Structure 1
Amino acid sequence: MKLSTFLLTFVLGLIPSVSLSQSHFLVQKDYRKIVQADFNQKKAMLSHGHHFDVFSKSKMSPYEKEAMQFLYAYMPVADIVDYPGSFHLMNIRAAERARREMPWGKLVPDLLYRHFVVPERVNNEHLDSSCVVFYDQLKNRVKDLPMYQAILEVNHWCHEKAIYTPSDARTSSPLATCRTAYGRCGEESTFLVAALRSVGIPARQVYTPRWAHTDDNHAWVEAWADGKWYFLGACEPEPVLNLAWFNAPASRGMLMHTKVFGRYNGPEEVMSKTANYTEINVISNYAPTSAVSVHVVDSLGNQVAGALVEFKLYNYAEFYSVAKKITDAQGHCSLTAGRGDMIVWASKEGRFGFARVSFGKQKEITVSLKHCEGDLFSIDFDIVPPKESANLPQVTAEQRKVNDNRLSKEDSIRTAYTSTFLTNETASQFVSSLKSPLTDKLRKSLIDILIKSRGNHSVLEMFLEESDRKGTLDKAVHLLNSLSDKDLRDIVIEVLNDHLWYTIDNDGREDYDCHLLNPRIKYEDLTCYKSFFKKVIDPSKAKSYREDPQRLIQWCKVNISVNDSLSAQRIPQSPEGVWTSKVADSKSLDSFFVAVARSCGISAWIDEVTDEVMYRKGNHVYKVSFEGPATAAIVPQGKLRATYEPNNIVDNPKYYSHFTISKFDNGQLKLLSYDENGTTWQNLLKKPLDLAAGYYVMVTGMRLANGGVLANMTSFVVKEGEETVINLKLRESKDQVQVIGNFNSESLFTPVTCPGKEARMLSKESVLSACGRGYYVIGIVGPGQEPTNHALKDIAALKCKLESWGRKIVLLFPTMDKCKKFNFLEFQGLPKDVVFGIDTDGIASQIVDNMKLKLKDQLPIFIIADTFNRVVFVTQGYTIGLGDQIMNVVNGL
């Protein structure tokens, strides 16, 4: 189980059982019958094991029993088999306590309470006891506030705890986000939803699967108050609701959705219904919308019922599916979306077809399933995103001042906490206290590991001290080195010890194989599965699996029932949960095989690029398949090479920025997920790449500064033992501003006041923080140099136009000494939006590297970029008419 018995007993003791005048949790009789039927069906599917014992062994009121049945009817299998029933009962009682004690409890309709307060899960995070912990911290802070103000206050509390920092795709639990003090947008919004629900406020996480006008995606929160849903940026408090940095981008969005727990009958458009949730479309809350009807026909024009229709947005150089529908008996489906372009991709039984559709311009479209695997095509698409139409609520100067002061105070509270984390000095002191010998390389990596662990450092220190005493420190460091940064921040010592002590190699010896030693398989919660399987699998059976892994594949096929409908959210079950329930979704079965294989000494893993299950035996790598006869075949391989003719903008196209490759799988496309850091045409496709034989599609694109894309989709076939050569085609525009590179807007610099002899350095700040969301200019300048003087005078000459544009211009000096040599009196005509600073953190080097500038030290360097990290203009050295060049680009944005 994923929650310790001691912790659960302690937490349960804090919450009284429910005592209500209302006898039913499910007030509507007809709905109650539906839930009861779904509950009974789920119980029958999970008849193996004791996963429903809570209903017979725990004392529950009729109200609590109905609430528990509602949870169990719709929760993913993982939440049933991996968490004790008492944990779910705790959450039911915590939610009802909040409803009873908070002043707005009686104002929340049963429908919203049931679907947006009671559910424990927000996304795919590890479940924890945050509902109890957060309530105790928040109840006195919000109990005397109106509901609207309470939402703002909870977000201020969240900002005290965490701020935005990008990380990997696994979602940390709310308590882990607090402990780490930061998270990506999906984690921040999960955190805020959990906090709002803990005090009885209906809340939901809203996602745009991908932006239409730029790469990336985003998640935020909607909260309900006094009859209305409002939105807010998680951990980014504003003076009022419905205000966030993403107002403008959201107005250009094409799809925003949220997953509502269970069968939900609200007013919003239903995207899909699954065994776990109802997905609803909320795009109309943010942007103008239009509906499109799609008709799917076969090559003879006959209607095709039951076809899968995917609505795809161009993003990260692929056409990414943001919505999926199934055609009805007449071959029809529809979608409401923002007024821009998508690709509609329809498929059934291996045949497929596709077409571009423009929402707002077309009301219907017909897609013919005229293609089959092996068809060769190359098609250009001009993709146009929606126009901006932001609607910003009014904020007074006093409201902004009060909010800014609060943000500063909250930053100091959070900084006081993060100052308790290990620094290079304190981590070095700890490592030096260890007695066991370590190489300089391992010593250095261990210091880095401890710093990365942030609020979890005490767990790692305890683990290392124990390993040091027992003479296993070297192996312990290798284990920690196998973990991701996020795992270091939230792993528990029981898991570390389990994988330290129960990892064996193929001959039964301790081993540092990166797959055998690592607890992580995919995105599942980490558990002590190695000691578990050592107990339940006979040693002779484990040996037979090690000698012939196909026997393990056969055991999985015979003994594990696969049912993907039970976990539509793709919440992975633990390997132990699969063993005890004998039921799994296909992805959990993959992880289960890897876990059992590793526990038996077989090096197994899930391939990061293809997402296929692999294992090594001797010098060969095999692919695992649970479909058809129990086999593990060596993957047939061919080779792929791409030619590319560099243009003036891109000399070495980047994966995800300029191109991607997807493999055809029964009519659908599965992206090959190469490393996003540094994968380019030169190191991937310039020389022949080993690739599994099959049918593929390459998508390329050049993003324009206005958000549009010049895209191309080309299919090709890789044959076993043969080399396939394709052309990587990047289209160009002679008339529109194009995205020519990237720059990290989170980069830091040191602002200064009074550039010149009286210059004074301030605290470091990010470009994003200094400039706000949107476009900005950065210039690296050399005072007293003629090229810099020309550039600054050109900018001063267009002072009025640049001020009318209203965006920041950050001028950075290479050093403080050079800043003090700047004669500010010569350039008093510069726009008021200029921010001066020192390039203390390598911004110039980043621009030089990213933009492939020939001369590293030649100044000035100017770029125009935006906070989505896109560069649309760069110049270096002596330039006449720089101000005009900047305004020409600005006018084209």
Structure 2
Amino acid sequence: MKTQIQLLFVPILSVMIVSCSEPHFLKEETYRNQVIQDFEQKQQALPNGDLFAIFSNKDLTVSEREALMFLYAYMPIGDVTDYPGIYYLENFRLSERTRGEMPWGKVVPDKLYRHFVLPIRVNNENLDDSRKLFYGELKDRVKNLSMKEAILEVNHWCHEKVVYRPSDARTSSPLASVKTAYGRCGEESTFTVAALRAVGIPARQVYTPRWAHTDDNHAWVEAWADGQWYFFGACEPEAVLNLGWFNAPASRGMLMHTKVFGRYNGPEEIMLETPNYTEINVIDNYAPTAKALVTVTDTDGKPVVGVKVDFKVYNYAEFYTVATKYTDTNGQTSLTAGKGDMLVWASKDGQFGYSKLSFGKEDALVLALDKKEGEAYTLDLDIVPPVEGANLPEVTPEQRAANDLRLAKEDSIRNAYVGTMMTEERAKAALSTFKLNESEIDKMVKMLVASRGNYQTLIDFLKNAAGEGKEDLAIELLRVLSAKDWRDVSIEVLKDHYQNAPDPQKVSLGTSVEIINPRVANEMLTPYRNFLRNAIPQSDAETFVKDPTRLVEWCKKEIKIDNDLNSQRIPISPEGVWKARVADEKSRDIFFVAMARTLGIPAWIDEVTGKVQYVDMNPFMENGKQINLKEGRTLDVNFNASTPVQASTGLLYATYHPIPSLSDPKYYSHFTLSKYKDGTFRLLNYDEGDVDMGGGATWSNLLKKGIRLDAGYYMLVSGTRMASGAVLSQVSFFNVEPEKTTTVDLVMRESKDQVQVIGNFNSESLYHPIGTESGNNLTSERCGTVQGDTKEVISQSILQACGRGYFVVAVLGVGQEPTNHALRDIAALGSEFEKWGRKMVFLFPSEEQYKKFRPAEFQGLPSTIIYGIDIDNSIQKQIAESMKLSNQTILPMFIIADTFNRVVFVSQGYTIGLGEQLMKVIHGL
């Protein structure tokens, strides 16, 4: 095989030597040599499957060969196995064409073009043909604009196509987002970066892995124009660049980063270098920063080389790693971060140590590897995030008005497309020709409505199944998929799994999900069953079904694990793993489950622990006797052990003494559990419920009742998030022993400070109640005009609406992500606000904004809410001025005040868990 690889390089290098007159894509000789070396190593690491066949094309130019070598040298394994070489060649040719046609093509430096225009992949999305399609739509809109104007124009086009809505963690492809017409921030930014690159503008997705002041993360876009990087909210166009609703939260960030394709050496701080990408730190673009030096020693105080150092931010009730570095020969590493608190965790060879580090207050930390597995104790940690200091560019009233008009037009364009999607009525009509019972119709109506622009795929699939009289099997297959799968699954995938999966009626278990479901984890769904059925020799298939341990052994023997070649852990398709026989551990696990399900063996990856498991349906031996089980036994697959085993387990309970503001702590919001492995703790992923809504794991349905866990060393983290963003956390380390019961205390720490008056608000302030007209029994006066409307409107004071006592006043930004989060948080605690009984006045900046409001998207909002229009933005201005907010335009704004004009709570902008923060204050009144 080595000889074959060397022969493959001969034509590549000879063409480069002979064709000296042809232009190079990799113009710097040193960098070109590095790419050739990395490319050769990649070929050697992936010798199977003829994965580099594109390079045998003798018609490739030198530039094309070098560009393909650059892409193949650094792309993750799945991009090599799952997409043909011609796909990358066509995208390169299109990029070159774009570079020649766009006016900024000659302005963009080669380095930026190489790393931020040419690469197709942005995050972990499915790759598609968006570049060609997007260029066709955008080129005439931007070709006569400056680069900065073009960036703004592309983002307006993106807003025509996609708007924000939360969804699950799997990232849809750009074209799937267009078909769906919405996406979460990671999908919006992936889509927008793809659109910018399609017209030759360097662009990158920027992430704050987790916020420090609130429980969430966020992604947005940076684009390069005329020598400078600018940021903006994806699909959220503003009148100018460097402006978004997240300016203020970003100023409180601890870390912002981006993953740059390939080896990259730019002006930014390098966080991490991998065989696939270079992670850079761009926090300096957004917030005041400080640098800290971390020294790691052993228990004798001697520096330790090669220690893994994780920098962790408290978020979602866990200490989440936002950056990983390794100590040098002096036992040191450093990080530049926002001026707040992190937990620094060092680990090597089973030893670990940790400490809080306050950036901006401490410039150095010495950390000893003095902790070991098994030590039981509890400690309190107070975590303080950076303070807010947003720097906003100037926007004139004329610019803002013009931008608002464009946004309204773009909303109408997008809504016209959304109007073509399935409603319940249309879905029922489309299903009327099928012989379905009422229950099946109800299921399919739900799926068709949720499938958005992909509804025809589901109808066509059902039609094909109906022709064979197997509608029930088709519906069962669709039912086990996720809502996002309904939105982007292809007919090829559905047909493959429908035709090649075992009939669920013949599955002896209580559920068929573990066999017929195409999805294993968060991978791209592919039609792998027919391929695997044909690829696996019949004799091997029979052996694996009879004894699944042989399938485990086959995977251990045949699949080489190389995590470094897939640094982002983007899942390789099962077919790709079969071809390459090389995979990262995650892709290997998915492959095993796919193989097992194809053969009819129930298998899955446990959602909580991440363990690979299967059900052995065959008789087995115990104490020398053959045992027959009707429903089999669940076994854990450990690819490092000789045989699968049933893990030793123990019971864990937690006591909790409720505090006034919290009767039942929620997992991810108030506490988490993690299990120790190899020097670090890995989070247990219990159900979080619906996105941004209630449900999910809590103390009462988890730890109060007791849960069975694998024996081992665990960490319980709890935290109370204060209105300031600070956290009162408690961390407990304990052991779960086999067949024993362990009881721990779940403690939600409280602040000793009582509710304090922090400002004033005039309760006689006037607003325009929604739906009031002249003649109602309300105080009437001229309240100004709304968008040129000179009719008399009715005003009412906050005091009149709420009566004596405390109340909540809010000014909302309709359709903006921070407002959506706030409303969902309040809806999740709707019953608690109902019990409180006091009024909540939710105001809109204008009547136009009110007309865009869709309360049906926020089921559960309390009936105590009164809606209205903020006359001339007077209340918004008053809150901003009296509470000394840094910017009066950032929405939403929330206050709790009383009729004595005292304010006891204020929140502005992006805050996760706002409902709970409001209730904490309310319980303390």
Q: Same fold (TM over 0.5)?
A: yes
Q: What interval of TM-score do these two structures reach, taking the shorter chain for normalisation?
A: 0.7 to 0.9
Moved more, 533-542 or 681-690: 533-542
User: What does the per-residue CA deviation read over 1:839-892, in whole Å, with 9 as the maximum and x for residues that have no partner?
Assistant: 9947998356xxxxxxx88999xxx999999999879xxxx7464254689999
Q: What letter corresponds to residue 460 of structure 1 in structure 2?
A: L
Seen in structure 2, the aligned counterparts of structure 1 residues 58 and 722 have a Cα distance that, compared at 3 Å, is farther
User: What does the per-residue CA deviation read over 1:130-182, in whole Å, with 9 as the maximum and x for residues that have no partner?
Assistant: 11111111111100001110000000000000000111111100011111101
Aligned equivalent of 1:453: 451
Aligned equivalent of 1:136: 136
> Post-superposition, which runs of at least 4 consecutive aligned residues in structure 1 deviate over 4 A?
19-22, 505-512, 755-760, 782-787, 807-810, 829-845, 856-860, 864-875, 885-893
Question: What are the residue-to-residue correspondences of 1:771-786 with 2, within 5 Å?
Answer: none
1:505 and 1:602 in contact (8 A); partners too: no
2:719 and 2:748 in contact (8 A); partners too: yes
1:205 and 1:219 in contact (8 A); partners too: yes
Question: What are the residue-to-residue correspondences of 1:581-600 with 2, within 5 Å?
Answer: 581-600=580-599
Aligned equivalent of 2:26: 26
- Displacement, 1:268? 0.5
Seen in structure 2, the aligned counterparts of structure 1 residues 620 and 513 have a Cα distance that, compared at 3 Å, is same
Of the three residues 700, 705, 712, the one matched with 1:687 is 705
Match of 2:770, SS state, is strand
Aligned equivalent of 1:622: 635
Match of 2:106, SS state, is helix
Aligned equivalent of 1:347: 347
Match of 1:421, SS state, is coil
Seen in structure 2, the aligned counterparts of structure 1 residues 888 and 519 have a Cα distance that, compared at 3 Å, is closer
2:270 and 2:280 in contact (8 A); partners too: yes
The CA RMSD measured in Å over matched residues stands at: 3.6
Seen in structure 2, the aligned counterparts of structure 1 residues 719 and 33 have a Cα distance that, compared at 3 Å, is same
Question: What are the residue-to-residue correspondences of 1:567-586 with 2, within 5 Å?
Answer: 567-586=566-585
**C-alpha separation in 2, matches of 1:524 and 1:279:** 23
1:506 and 1:546 in contact (8 A); partners too: no
User: What does the per-residue CA deviation read over 1:221-250, in whole Å, with 9 as the maximum and x for residues that have no partner?
Assistant: 000000000001000000100000000000
**C-alpha separation in 2, matches of 1:587 and 1:576:** 15
Seen in structure 2, the aligned counterparts of structure 1 residues 139 and 328 have a Cα distance that, compared at 3 Å, is same
Q: What letter corresponds to residue 168 of structure 1 in structure 2?
A: D
**C-alpha separation in 2, matches of 1:874 and 1:635:** 51
1:215 and 1:868 in contact (8 A); partners too: no
Aligned equivalent of 1:325: 325
Q: What letter corresponds to residue 732 of structure 1 in structure 2?
A: E
**C-alpha separation in 1, matches of 2:713 and 2:724:** 34
**C-alpha separation in 2, matches of 1:132 and 1:795:** 50
Verify: 1:701 aligned to 2:719, yes or no. yes
1:704 and 1:736 in contact (8 A); partners too: no
Aligned equivalent of 1:744: none
2:808 and 2:895 in contact (8 A); partners too: no
1:506 and 1:602 in contact (8 A); partners too: no
**C-alpha separation in 2, matches of 1:659 and 1:287:** 29
- Displacement, 1:784? 13
**C-alpha separation in 1, matches of 2:367 and 2:428:** 63
Seen in structure 2, the aligned counterparts of structure 1 residues 367 and 432 have a Cα distance that, compared at 3 Å, is same
- Displacement, 1:196? 0.4
Q: What letter corresponds to residue 285 of structure 1 in structure 2?
A: N
User: What does the per-residue CA deviation read over 1:559-610, in whole Å, with 9 as the maximum and x for residues that have no partner?
Assistant: 1111000000111110001101111111110001001001110011111111
> Where does structure 2 lack aligned partners over 5 or more consecutive residues?
1-18, 618-631, 690-694, 757-767, 779-795, 812-818, 828-838, 868-878, 909-916
For normalisation by structure 2, the TM-score amounts to 0.82
Match of 2:73, SS state, is helix
**C-alpha separation in 2, matches of 1:612 and 1:342:** 30
Q: What letter corresponds to residue 419 of structure 2 in structure 1?
A: S
Q: What letter corresponds to residue 149 of structure 1 in structure 2?
A: E
Aligned equivalent of 1:7: none
1:174 and 1:191 in contact (8 A); partners too: yes
Moved more, 530-539 or 62-71: 530-539
Aligned equivalent of 2:742: 724
**C-alpha separation in 1, matches of 2:603 and 2:488:** 24
Q: What letter corresponds to residue 69 of structure 2 in structure 1?
A: Q
Aligned equivalent of 1:710: 728
> Where does structure 1 lack aligned partners over 5 or more consecutive residues?
1-18, 739-749, 761-781, 800-806, 815-826, 849-855
Match of 1:681, SS state, is coil
**C-alpha separation in 2, matches of 1:795 and 1:87:** 56
Of the three residues 792, 800, 804, the one matched with 1:790 is 804
Match of 1:35, SS state, is helix
Match of 1:633, SS state, is coil
- Displacement, 1:523? 1.3
**C-alpha separation in 1, matches of 2:38 and 2:185:** 33
**C-alpha separation in 2, matches of 1:500 and 1:664:** 40
- Displacement, 1:620? 1.3
User: What does the per-residue CA deviation read over 1:342-376, in whole Å, with 9 as the maximum and x for residues that have no partner?
Assistant: 00011111111110000000010011111111011
**C-alpha separation in 2, matches of 1:174 and 1:352:** 42
Question: What are the residue-to-residue correspondences of 1:367-766 with 2, within 5 Å?
Answer: 367-435=367-435, 437-438=436-437, 440-504=438-502, 513-618=512-617, 619-629=632-642, 631-677=643-689, 678=695, 679-735=697-753, 752-754=770-772
Aligned equivalent of 1:314: 314
Q: What letter corresponds to residue 702 of structure 2 in structure 1?
A: L
Match of 1:106, SS state, is coil
Q: What letter corresponds to residue 333 of structure 1 in structure 2?
A: T
- Displacement, 1:758? 6.5
- Displacement, 1:788? 3.4
Aligned equivalent of 2:57: 57
Seen in structure 2, the aligned counterparts of structure 1 residues 229 and 832 have a Cα distance that, compared at 3 Å, is closer
Q: What letter corresponds to residue 38 of structure 2 in structure 1?
A: D
**C-alpha separation in 2, matches of 1:784 and 1:338:** 39
1:214 and 1:868 in contact (8 A); partners too: no
2:462 and 2:471 in contact (8 A); partners too: yes
2:253 and 2:338 in contact (8 A); partners too: yes
1:505 and 1:516 in contact (8 A); partners too: no
Match of 2:860, SS state, is helix
Q: What letter corresponds to residue 66 of structure 2 in structure 1?
A: E
Match of 1:107, SS state, is coil
Seen in structure 2, the aligned counterparts of structure 1 residues 405 and 831 have a Cα distance that, compared at 3 Å, is closer
Question: What are the residue-to-residue correspondences of 1:84-233 with 2, within 5 Å?
Answer: 84-233=84-233
Seen in structure 2, the aligned counterparts of structure 1 residues 476 and 870 have a Cα distance that, compared at 3 Å, is farther
1:694 and 1:717 in contact (8 A); partners too: yes
**C-alpha separation in 2, matches of 1:182 and 1:466:** 29
Aligned equivalent of 2:835: none
- Displacement, 1:212? 0.6
Aligned equivalent of 1:4: none
Q: What letter corresponds to residue 462 of structure 1 in structure 2?
A: D
Q: What letter corresponds to residue 699 of structure 1 in structure 2?
A: V
Seen in structure 2, the aligned counterparts of structure 1 residues 322 and 858 have a Cα distance that, compared at 3 Å, is closer
Q: What letter corresponds to residue 456 of structure 1 in structure 2?
A: N
**C-alpha separation in 2, matches of 1:200 and 1:697:** 48
Q: What letter corresponds to residue 81 of structure 1 in structure 2?
A: T
